[in-house]
């Protein structure tokens, strides 16, 4: 339900609406006479003035329609004043009344133009259907009686002109509903004002003989003046004057009900006349029925064409989607082939590199034994040996990954082992690296932790985690390794006081070749393979590995392994168990 909100810019409009409502109430309390007539004219003049104030206050992009509203209302008010001053000059008075209708209709047409409705042939069609339905109602119950009624030719012509003016006004507002303008409070107020104006005219045409000044019928015209002014004072009046893209014409239940009512109007009028034994307006009703039928047929053709257009667009889009899917499948196949070639290349190159590196390491060890007391020579050879070992570990990592990517899994040789002892050995062998960097490395776990697993792979996992902790911990830091367990589950933890871990990186830390932003910013060397391999080893043993930030800075790596994983678990991961 649309609500007229009391926005800060609408305070003037709200005050005017309240004062106007009170003034209308006072009007009916006053006795008939000049004071009552003057108040009527004052309320009408205030509506025209409010329209001008709204234009000045809100400065719409296109003020012309609102100016036309103000001029049209002024024309109505002028007719009211002249009727009071010169009651016998019928032609002059009614001329000002009738002149207001085309001005307001023109204002509506301009607003409809800027609301985007002029692009909607379907909407024009629907507006035409509603207009023809109202036209036949006007002709049978208002225009025809006015044309054949008592009075002079001038009086009857004026009454007939009013019916046509109402018809033009209704046609303008019917077209307004094609756009999104009906959602604006200002438009709702305009519609309500026009509805009061039309209602007053229709009731006056049907009961003109019993009308008197101060009649309840005056409330309809006074309310229309008031609502026109309030519509101009509401800030949403700016939106009605702005050009906008045409909105989609939706076939809502309200629109269907409106069109159905319009279609049934001629038949309903014919039945009503027949039931009251009145002369049947067969020619007029037939003409209106033919016109409405043609418009309905036109609307139906438009709907069918729109459906056909949608079907053609859907077919074109489906064809494009199928072509895109085929192209995507082809590109995916090429990517898979390229990835496979890359893995094969890495595997071949790694194999070719491992043999010469082994020779380099072997001959370097022999050279170190024969170096004797040559300190410089030994230092150079130690550098060669250290970097050769580093290259060999990198080659082994690449071979490990190539094996995994080829789907061959890990060959595990599970045996009974003491995880605490293996962990202490890993810590002992990493001590030289920790000392060279000025770190404290220690084992603080249990003395004995029973585990059935591949000793070599568990040692590799520990070496990767401890080496990773040493790499990312600055001098003076601490790396602590613990092992614990029971008859079902064993755990390993490697804690460091290094550069730490962002929570957002925890989920991607074990991806192949992934390196955190902190690592790249600190220019710490690495390939991003160690943690990937550690996770693969943990998963191969039916376990899991996680990482989280450490309180006070640093990172904690936590590994959980089953103390004795059943063979089916290992087979489920695609790992080959070797007895």
Q: φ and ψ at 523, to 5 degrees?
A: 55, 40
Whether residue 500 is contained in a domain is answered as: yes
Whether residue 222 is contained in a domain is answered as: yes
CA 124 to chain centroid, in Å, comes to 31
Whether residue 188 is contained in a domain is answered as: yes
Give the bridge partners for 490, in sequence order.
485, 561
Whether residue 340 is contained in a domain is answered as: no
Whether residue 296 is contained in a domain is answered as: no
Whether residue 309 is contained in a domain is answered as: no
Q: Are strands 440-443 and 478-485 parallel, antiparallel or unpaired?
A: parallel
Whether residue 494 is contained in a domain is answered as: yes
Which of residues 251, 267, 288 is at a domain's end? 251
Q: How far is the C-alpha of 351 from the C-alpha of 398, rounded, in Å?
A: 9
Whether residue 162 is contained in a domain is answered as: yes
Predicted TM-score (pTM) of the model is 0.47
Which of residues 251, 282, 309 is at a domain's end? 251
Which of residues 251, 268, 290 is at a domain's end? 251
- Tens digit of pLDDT at every position of the chain (579 positions): 344 455 667 888 889 999 999 999 999 999 888 888 899 989 989 999 999 999 888 888 888 888 988 998 898 889 888 887 877 776 677 778 778 877 887 787 777 666 554 445 666 666 677 777 777 776 776 666 666 666 556 555 666 666 666 666 666 666 555 555 556 788 888 888 888 887 887 777 667 667 788 888 889 989 999 999 998 898 888 877 665 554 454 556 766 776 777 778 787 878 887 887 877 777 877 887 888 788 777 777 777 777 788 888 888 888 898 888 998 888 888 888 876 776 666 666 655 666 676 777 776 777 777 766 667 777 777 777 767 766 766 666 666 666 666 656 667 788 999 999 999 998 998 898 899 889 999 999 898 999 999 888 888 889 889 988 898 888 899 999 999 988 889 999 999 998 888 777 777 788 777 777 777 676 677 666 778 888 888 888 889 999 888 888 889 999 999 988 766 544 444 444 333
Q: How far is the C-alpha of 200 from the C-alpha of 217, rounded, in Å?
A: 6
* SS3 at position 563: coil
Q: How far is the C-alpha of 420 from the C-alpha of 439, rounded, in Å?
A: 22
Domain count, the chain: 2
Residue span of the structural domain in which 425 resides: 411-577
* Of residues 98, 108, 239, the one with CA closest to residue 174: 108
Gap between the terminal Cα atoms of the chain: 76
- The CATH number that applies at residue 551 is 3.30.565.10
Q: φ and ψ at 214, to 5 degrees?
A: 90, 5
Given a contact cutoff of 8 angstroms between Cβ atoms, the answer to whether 430 and 460 are in contact is no
């Amino acid at each position: 339900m649309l609500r007229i909100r009391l926005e800060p810019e609408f305070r003037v409009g709200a005050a005017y609406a309240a004062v106007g409502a009170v003034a209308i109430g006072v009007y009916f309390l006053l006795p008939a006479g000049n004071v009552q007539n003057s108040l009527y004219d004052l309320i009408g003049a205030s509506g025209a003035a409010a329209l001008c104030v709204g234009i000045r206050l809100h400065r719409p992009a296109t003020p012309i329609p609102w100016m036309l509203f103000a001029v049209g209302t002024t024309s109505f008010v002028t007719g009211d004043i002249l009727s009071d001053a010169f009651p016998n000059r019928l032609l002059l008075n009614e001329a000002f009344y009738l002149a207001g209708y085309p001005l307001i209709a023109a204002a509506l047409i301009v607003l409809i133009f800027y609301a985007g409705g002029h692009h909607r042939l379907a909407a024009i069609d629907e507006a035409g259907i509603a207009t023809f339905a109202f036209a036949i109602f006007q002709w049978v119950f208002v225009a025809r009686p006015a044309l054949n009624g008592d009075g002079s030719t001038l009086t009857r012509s004026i009454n007939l002109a009013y019916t046509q003016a109402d018809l033009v006004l209704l046609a303008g507002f019917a077209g307004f509903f094609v756009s999104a303008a009906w959602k604006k409070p200002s438009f709702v107020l305009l519609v309500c004002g026009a509805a009061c104006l039309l209602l007053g005219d229709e009731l006056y045409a049907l009961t003109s003989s019993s009308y008197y000044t101060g009649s309840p019928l005056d409330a309809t015209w006074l309310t229309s003046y008031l609502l026109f002014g309030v519509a101009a004072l509401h800030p949403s009046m700016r939106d009605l004057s702005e050009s906008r893209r045409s909105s989609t014409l939706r076939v809502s239940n309200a629109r269907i009900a409106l069109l159905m009512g319009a279609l049934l109007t001629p038949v309903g009028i014919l039945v009503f006349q027949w039931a009251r034994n009145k002369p049947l307006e067969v020619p007029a009703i037939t003409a209106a029925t033919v016109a409405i039928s043609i418009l309905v047929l036109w609307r139906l053709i438009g709907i069918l064409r729109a459906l056909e257009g949608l079907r053609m667009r859907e077919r074109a889009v489906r064809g494009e989607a199928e072509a895109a899917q085929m192209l995507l499948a082809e590109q995916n196949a090429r990517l898979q082939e390229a990835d496979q070639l890359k893995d094969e290349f890495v595997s071949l190159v790694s194999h070719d590199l491992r043999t010469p590196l082994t020779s380099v390491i072997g001959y370097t060890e022999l050279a170190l034994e024969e170096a004797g007391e040559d300190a410089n020579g030994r230092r150079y050879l130690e550098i060669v040996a250290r970097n050769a070992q580093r290259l060999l570990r990198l080659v082994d990592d690449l071979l490990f990954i190539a094996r995994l990517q080829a789907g061959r899994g890990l060959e595990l040789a599970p045996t009974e082992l003491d995880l605490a002892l293996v962990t202490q050995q890993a810590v002992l062998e990493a001590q030289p690296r920790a000392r060279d960097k000025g770190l404290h490395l220690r084992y603080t776990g249990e003395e004995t932790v029973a585990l059935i697993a591949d000793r070599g792979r568990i040692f590799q996992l520990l070496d990767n985690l401890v080496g990773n902790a040493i790499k990312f911990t600055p001098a003076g830091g601490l790396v602590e390794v613990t092992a614990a367990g029971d008859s079902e589950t064993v755990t390993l933890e490697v804690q460091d006081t290094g550069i730490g871990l962002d929570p957002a990186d925890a989920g991607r830390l074990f991806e192949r070749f992934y390196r955190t932003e902190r690592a790249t910013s600190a220019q710490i060397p690495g390939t991003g393979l160690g943690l990937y391999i550690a996770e693969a080893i943990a998963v191969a043993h039916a376990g899991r590995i996680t990482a989280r930030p450490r309180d006070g800075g640093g990172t904690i790596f936590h590994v959980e392994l089953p103390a004795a994983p059943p063979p089916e678990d290992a087979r489920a991961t695609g790992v080959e168990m070797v007895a």
